[in-house]
Amino acid sequence: MRIQLVDSSNRNHLLPLTFTRPVSALRCGILSIAEKYTKRGHEVGNETQDYLQRKFPSIADATVCVDGGVCPTDEFLAAAAALMSG
């Protein structure tokens, strides 16, 4: 699955951490949120502030857009896959 991780308006609540990276690049344990999706076999892109977009590119034809602060679980990814098929 090709997943676009989108920074929501809640990004501002995480400043100054999100001045230099999107929310999905923040670490939650040993891995970042984006790395957790990648480790589960998904291709990940970021939709973030213009000045960060060069370092954290988006993907052109994402199959699903997800809030960048959502940590993936098996149940969440199964629900996202079910949305795509129906």
What is the reported pTM? 0.90
Starting from the edge strand earliest in sequence, which strands make up the sheet with 2-6, in order?
Answer: 43-47, 2-6, 64-67
Q: Stretch 59-72: mean pLDDT, rounded?
A: 92
pLDDT, one tens digit per residue, over 39-50 is 999 999 999 999
